[in-house]
Amino acid sequence: MAKKKKDPVIEELPPAPIRYQPITETLETNYMPYVMTVIVSRAIPEIDGFKPSHRKLLYTMYKMGLMNGPRMKSATIAGRTMAIHPHGDTGIYETMVRLTRDYEALLHPFVDSKGAFGKQYSSNMKASAPRYTEARLESFCTEIFKGIDKDAVDMVDNYDGTMQEPVLLPTTFPNVLVTPNMGIAVGMASNICSFNLAEVCDGTIAMLKKPSITTERLMELIKGPDFPGGGLLLYDAAQMRQIFETGVGPVRLRARYRYDKDANCIDILQIPYSTTIEQIIDKIADLVKSGSLKEITDFRDEIDISGFKLTLDLRRGVDPDKLMAKLFKVTPLEDSFKCNFNILIDSVPRQMGIAEILREWIVFRMGCVRRELTFELNKKKEKLHLLEALAKVLLDIDLAIHIIRKTEKEAEVIPALMEGFDIDEVQANYIAEIKLRALNREYILNRIAEMENLRKEIAELEAILGDDLKIKAYIAAQLTEIKKKYGKPRLTQIMDAGDAKTFNEEDAVENYPVKLLMTREGYFKKIAITPRTQFSVEDQKMKDGDIVKTVLDAENRDELVFFTDRCQVYRAAVDDFDCLRAANMGDYLNTKLKMDEGEKPIYMEVRKNYPEGENYIFVFENGKAVRVPVTAYVTKGTRRKLTGAYSDTSPIVSVFTDTDKKPIDILMISSLDRAILVKSTLIPIKTTRTSGGVQIMTLKKGHLAKATADFGDNYQNVKSYRKLKVPASGTLLEEKNVEIQQIKIDTD
């Protein structure tokens, strides 16, 4: 078989060189351009209050003639916008949806919509496909495009150089504070809430008049955020001042509601801007299922053509205001809007307070006005320049006619007029185009009057352009007109945070006396005590072989602590348990408190606080014991479970409590029926919960089987077991001592 020849060309090719690129170079050349594109060209709004997607969409609609014309299909608008925003029609349509009147996300919508566009307060209500909906620009948009055709802003080529688009829109009011905006870039984000247009205009006018305006004065004029969804703003002066000065901080919002006494229901009519009705309903449903919200019998979404409504049906006797205070605490009916005023200024992101934003907007707006007025000034000067030539011609119309008639070639008419009347080429062209019928007395007088008006207007424009104070007055006049034309009352009402009713769990829980029982097998029972209640431990139903281990008097608002045989502590409210009858076996604590498998409670107590000088006493099978201050069990928040409650070096026998001022007697009995009686003060205090303690009872054989502080008359001659020093060996119980029992029999 012939041997296959190798390809000589392949053999001659050298191996591809390996190029190692430093991570810093990779970040600089590959990652940073992407980061800057996201920050500058996508996610962060600029001083005109728009992100690029908003600006490109609105400008496209403006060029399509949708400012005054009939509505057009949304699909057509999205398609046309792709000429300057090539990011897919789906994304463009979603952008338009958020700007529409029907979506209700803006105080002053930019798009007049027709069709189903969804709602900002619902995640389930979606917009219809763009082929079904129609849109055009709202009349309010005249204020964001005013001057755009008069060189008010820079224009740049679109991505393929076929048309031009504005870098910014020349908004005549601080739209950056009126239109809410949110954007997430790379390494930074922006979250701008909306403010009332009339208040923003007042604040801006005040700053135009006095650039050094104080924060206090600005806060008087711009009272706080005003959200499209309304709601109630819990006003914290210190927090609001921080937002005004730094642009960062939370704003607390509450839903607004009314109580229908006849139907015994609460109608929630406005919710915080930062949440949705689905989030609220889901949370209420979870609370109702878990039994934490027993005051509500039913709840439903009743949104209709008249607007938002969420209805809660109440149980008889429920206080609606207390219930709402509870719902504000445990559901998104009270929520926070986290302000982060991050705005692009000359393509550089800056975090600014409201005063600084207004100053930057004034600088931007003054530049727009100056360019717009300069454009008008040049136009008027050009027109005056033409009319001045006309004035020269009108002095000798016959000469002009003579020049035109005597000129042999058409191309020589303009040079002849220029020479005959000492005018330039532009003026000569204008004269040559005048129709013969216009050369009458009325036309001549009107043009002369127009020249006088033009000279006055030019003088006025030059005076404004030459004085920054006059430009500011011009802007202030525009703002006053905008406020008068478009200003609306606040939708979000303001309440002092200190006056807001807060939820008090104790007030929400009905209080009454109860008996609490815990059995050896870990069953728990709560029994309501009334004047007619005949309580008896013997009447309580229990599992076969089970006995009642602990009986406590308590109230329904109390808190419970359970120590278990696995060195853990569980906390629960008495109200977490339902009242039961004597014939009921009770709640199994392992299941109710979600304990570990096989875990059993060994000690239960009612605990309202953790005072200094009070201790837990732990007694172990190895004869050791320890006292631990109850302050060692204080936790932050409302933790329901605490591990490492005591030492695990030996099985636990009993748990007690004492105080430094009121020690207790503890009777300890070994498995060999030997006993000692000691004061709890003999047991040392250790600050560490898991301390193994010290030897209290000496055990040569067997183990400590029982420890009790409630021995009563259960044992004979208990005082004989008293020990004054520890460790101590036990004395045989008299009940088990045959000699002592025989002496007693003989005596009897």
Catalytic residues: 132
Pairwise CA distance, residues 490 & 223, whole Å: 10
Q: Which helix (H) or strand (E) holds 446?
A: helix 441-465
Block residue for tokens 């932050």: 636
DSSP character for 497? G
> In Å, what is the CA distance from 371 to each residue of 45, 153, 179, 461, 565?
23, 8, 25, 12, 82
3-state secondary structure 641-700: EEECCCCCCCCEEEEEEEECCCCCEEEEEECCCEEEEEEHHHCCECCCCCCCCEECEECC
Q: Are strands 232-235 and 493-496 parallel, antiparallel or unpaired?
A: parallel
Hey, which residues does 495 pair with through a beta bridge?
A: 234
Pairwise CA distance, residues 253 & 232, whole Å: 6
Length of the chain in terms of residues written: 748
Q: Which helix (H) or strand (E) holds 732?
A: strand 731-732
Pairwise CA distance, residues 475 & 481, whole Å: 10
Hey, which residues does 192 pair with through a beta bridge?
A: 181
What residues contact 560, with CB distance under 8 A and at least 6 apart?
516, 554, 571, 572, 573, 574, 604, 605, 606, 607
Dihedral angle of Cα 282, 287, 289, 291, to the nearest 10 degrees: -170
Instruction: Please list the alpha-helical segments (H only) found in 64-196.
Output: 74-81, 89-98, 142-145, 175-178
DSSP-assigned letters across all residues of 164-221:
EEESS---SS-HHHHS-EEEE-SS-EEEE--B-HHHHHHHHHHHHH-TT--HHHHHHH
Show the tokens assigned to 647. 């030492």
Q: Which helix (H) or strand (E) holds 251?
A: strand 248-254
Show the tokens assigned to 213. 């305006």
Which amino acid, residue 633?
Answer: Y
Block residue for tokens 């004061």: 679
Cβ–Cβ under 8 Å, residues 574 and 559: yes
Hey, which residues does 233 pair with through a beta bridge?
A: 253, 494
Hey, which residues does 620 pair with through a beta bridge?
A: 652
Q: Are strands 559-564 and 568-573 parallel, antiparallel or unpaired?
A: antiparallel
Pairwise CA distance, residues 39 & 61, whole Å: 25
- Nearest Cα to 260, choosing from 170, 336, 320? 320
Block residue for tokens 């709560």: 526
- Nearest Cα to 561, choosing from 584, 589, 597, 599? 589
- Phi/psi at 72 (nearest 5 deg)? -130, 155
